[in-house]
Structure formats: C-alpha cells, structure tokens
Structure 1
Amino acid sequence: MAQHAPPARGARLGRAVGASGSGSTVSGVVLLLPGTSRFTPGPVRALARALGRAGGAEGLVAHTLPHGAGAVREEQARWAADEAVRRYGDVPVCLAGYDAGGLAALRAAGHEAVNSVLALAPCLGRADGAGSPEPVKQLAGRQVLIVHGTNDARSDPEDSFLLAARAKKANRSTCRFEVHSDGHSLAEHQAEVVALAVDFVLGAVCSGRYSRPVADALAAPPPLGLRMPLASGFGRSLRR
C-alpha cells in the first residue's frame, strides 16, 4: 500500500477549524482523536470549537478524526500526522485524544512531526504479570499533558498516574492534572478541562508560554506535577 494512502478504513482529516487559507498561513496543527463512540464524545467537540476561537488568529488549525478503536485508532493518528505534514508543511503537530483516542495519541507520539500530546481520560490497560506496561520512550522530546477525573469508573486514573510517572523519567516535560469528583466524560468540569487543554495546546504549538498552573506542573518534580488539582474556575482569568 502506498504511504500516502489511509492505512485503515475511515482514516481522514475532518473539517478544518481555526486558521484558513493556504498552507503558508498555518503555523500549527491539532489532531483531535475522539473515543470509540460518537454518542460519548467527551470534551472533544467543545475543545475543537475553543481551539478554533482561541488559536485561529495564531495560525492554529484543528481537525477532528473519525471515531475508532484499538490499533485502528493508532494507525489513523499516524496517517493523520503524515497528512498534516503533506497539507501544511513542516509545522508542529499536537495529538489530542479522549478515551481510546487519548491512548492512541500517547502511542503515536513518536511521529517526527508531533511536538506535543494531550491525553484526556485515556483508556489504559494496567499490565499484569504476563504483560508489558505502556511504552513511554516515544514521548521523549514532546510536551505531554494528561488529564483524568478522580471518579473515572471506566479508566482507572491511577493507571494514567503510573504511566505519567514512568514518562516523567524519560521526559521532564510531562505533567498530569486531576479533576476531582469528575467521571470519565469530564462533563462536570468541562469548561475548566477545555480551558486547560487550550492553554496547553497554544503554549506547546504556538507561543511557548503557559499559564502559571501548567508551567508549575511541568516544572514540579513527581509526584507533585503529576497530581495537580484542576482548580474550579480555571481559565476565567487567564492572561496569555
């Protein structure tokens, strides 16, 4: 199969949100990877709209990929990163995923165009005695943010903490926020989650600047920077 062809059925970039015009007007790309079901989108739709509003003037483009699962989701992420480079040139790419999309974003982070990864309530399988832990070497050199609700009944938040702890050893630019009392969909504090995600993406892809909480989380040693509480009202008074 030719390298430019989609490796999995349904692999495509969704409609562009944000900067428009020729490729020369685009300075960065966010690839949004939803979960397995279109009926449980989590914060992805709200995040796409917020990125379009906040990042369009800075040349940021966001594309939402189709829903998928497992290895198909991971292949879609890698194909989409290739397609972003083909379409927009040598610009930084952020993989931002929720649920199974969060896991795919983490796994596909080794793509040479990817400079940052955002994983929202990633579905991780804790390795048993016969299995291997999720790899983290591909996260080296990337900016990484993991966000997880403390009441997530579908994906154990402790699994993402353990992954973040291992990732931090390979990559100091890793942080993790906990959304207290929120579940897998991150619906109860969606506004704060979206504001945090936008702040991280704009900093990683466009400006290189982060709000104080994100900067502190990236700089803090473990476990402090990996169990940062997401404050109620985050984003209301941010000044970039």
Structure 2
Amino acid sequence: MSVSARQEPSALVLPPDVRAPEAVVLVLHGGREHGESAPRAWNLAGLRMRPFVRRIKRAYAPRGVAVAQVRYRCRGWNGARADAARDAREALDQLAPRIGDAPVVLVGHSMGGRAALRVADHPSVRAVVGLAPWCPKGEPVTQLRDRDVVLLHGDLDRTTDPAASADYAARAVAAGARAGLLLMSGGDHAMLRRAGAWHSLTTRTVGGLLGLGPLPDTVARSLRRHGG
C-alpha cells in the first residue's frame, strides 16, 4: 500500500471488547499551544491521565461504564485549526453509532480540557470535567447550554490560569450551563501535588454526573445554572 493510500489512525481509542455500554467516559490528555507532529505513544501528557483512567474503570466498569480516549493527530492546538477539538469531535462521531443513546462524560486536562469544552454540544455529551483547563479569554461558551460543567483547577497552577477558569465558568452559567469551579488547594498544573485527591475527586464527580452516586458535596455546591 502506498503511503498516500494509508489511512490515518482513528481518533477514538476504545477497547475492542466494549459492547453496548451504559455510559462512556472519554478522556482527553493535554498538549501544547503549537505543534504539528504527532504525540509519541508514551508521551508524558498521555501518561498523566492513566491513573484517572484506572480509577474510573475500577469504580464504574462493573456498572457498565466504558472508558475511551481521544488520539490526537497533532500535539498542538494550532490556532484557528483547533486540532485537538477536531479530533475530539471525530472521536465522538466514531463513538456514537457504537453506544446508541448512552451518555458520554468528557474528562480533559489542559489542552484536552479546552477541546472537551469546545465539543460539549455533541449530542452524545452529557457533561464535561475540565482538569486545569486551558480557557483563554474569549473562548466560546454557547455550546455548553444545558450541559453540566465541572472545572477543577489547582490554586498553584502557573501554566493555565485558575482565574481564567473562574471567568469561563461564570460565562458558561450565563450561557445556560450548570457550571462551577472548584479550586484544588495546593494543586499544580501537572496534578502531581495531591495526586490522590485529584484522582478521587474526578472519579466521584464522574459517577455523580452519570447518576451512579452522589456528587461530592464540594462539587455540588460549586454548580450553578443560569436563572436557577
């Protein structure tokens, strides 16, 4: 087969044994502002999400929840191209016929959080959990109407701005989302400080958003809906 005839790898990474799940958690790792080369298979941003994948699987796979991941074609966002969001939407399109009406919760870190928030208007998506998300000024929010949006951000983050996440959450509420920000005291961008708290809170939040248990009290208190 010629190089030009080869197919690009799928944007969706889903275990082959998944059949008719009750729900799906789609995980999106971080990246860079610019970069057109493909991420390496064992890139650090991807490895950072593995503990989240393991915890969510352990907690909810017995209850019919599948965990999938987005495979990026490029390691960067790349300006108006928004490559990570394009890949996220393609992954959702590939996932939809396999899961029917099952709801999807997106869990994205940094650039992956930005991509998850951008594609939250996809019909399969019920909610988004953004971990230290990259929310630049002017980032759109209208696509979040009628979605649940939980942003977790370390107060010591020096890579993405917790204040920007607060502004984004407020604008999301004004656009009709049920949205909130929870600051992780002592948390950094890489989610290495207090890693266990990040993993536990994210897992319990996912379960609450899927109706598989109560939302953590701190998360529930942070959520607001426009006019609510």
Q: Same fold (TM over 0.5)?
A: yes
Distance 2:225 2:95 in 1: 33
Q: State the Cα deviation string for residues 78-123 of structure 1 (Å, max 9, x = none).
A: 1111122111211101111101100000111111111100111112
- Give yes or no for contact 1:143–1:174 (8 Å, CA) kept in 2: yes
Compared CA separation, residues 109 and 99, structure 1 to 2 (3 A): same
SS across alignment from 1:188: coil
User: How far did residue 22 of structure 1 move?
Assistant: 2.5
Between stretches 212-221 and 57-66, larger displacement belongs to: 212-221
Q: What residue is the counterpart of 2:188 in the other structure?
A: 183
Count, aligned residues: 204
Residue 69 of structure 1 and its aligned partner are, at CA, apart by 2.8
The question of 1:69 aligning with 2:115 is answered no
Counterpart of 2:22?
A: 27
Report if aligned partners of 1:43, 1:194 keep a CA contact under 8 Å in 2.
no
Please give the root-mean-square deviation of Cα atoms over the aligned residues, in Å: 2.3
Q: Identity rate of aligned residues, in percent?
A: 30
For residue 219 of structure 1, report the CA deviation from its aligned partner: 5.0
Matches of 1:172 and 1:119, distance apart in 2: 14
**What is the CA–CA distance in structure 2 between the aligned matches of 1:163 and 1:40, rounded to whole Å?**
23
Taking a change above 3 Å as real, the CA distance of residues 167 and 104 of structure 1, as seen in their structure-2 partners, is same
Counterparts of 1:55 and 1:190, CA distance in 2: 20
Aligned to 1:39: 44
1:29–1:84 Cα contact (<8 Å) kept: no
Deviation at 1:21, TM superposition (A): 4.9
Structure 1 residue 217: deviation in Å? Answer: 2.0
How far apart are 1:12 and its partner, in Å? 2.6
Q: CA deviation at 1:157?
A: 1.3
Q: For residue 93 of structure 1, what is the aligned residue in structure 2?
A: 104
Distance 1:10 1:118 in 2: 26
Alignment check: 8 A CA contact 2:23 2:103 kept: yes
Q: How does 1:98-137 map to 2 (within 5 A)?
A: 98-126=109-137, 133-137=138-142
Indicate conservation of the 8 Å contact 1:78/1:111, yes or no: yes
- Is contact 2:132–2:151 with CA below 8 Å preserved after alignment? yes
Structure 2 distance, partners of 1:44, 1:102, is: 12
CA displacement 1:136-189 (0-9 Å, x = unmatched): 111111111101111111111111111111112223521111112221111111
Establish whether residue 55 from structure 1 lines up as the match of residue 54 from structure 2. Answer: no
Q: Secondary structure at the match of 2:13?
A: coil
Structure-2 change in CA distance of 1:149 and 1:141 (3 Å): same
What amino acid maps onto 2:91 in structure 1? Answer: A
Letter in 2 for 1:34: H
Residue by residue, what CA displacement relative to the aligned partner does 1:38-76 show, whole Å, maximum 9, x if unpaired?
Answer: 223474111100010001111111112224431111011
Q: Determine if contact 1:172/1:218 at 8 Å carries over to the other structure.
A: no
Q: Which sits farther off after the overlay, 45-54 or 68-77?
A: 68-77
Letter in 2 for 1:125: P
Distance change in 2, residues 1:206/1:12 (3 Å): farther
Alignment-derived partner of residue 199 in structure 1: 204
Aligned partner letter, 2:59: A
| Structure 1 contact 60–206 (Cα < 8 Å) conserved | no
Secondary structure of 1:87's partner?
A: helix
Q: Which amino acid aligns with 1:69?
A: G
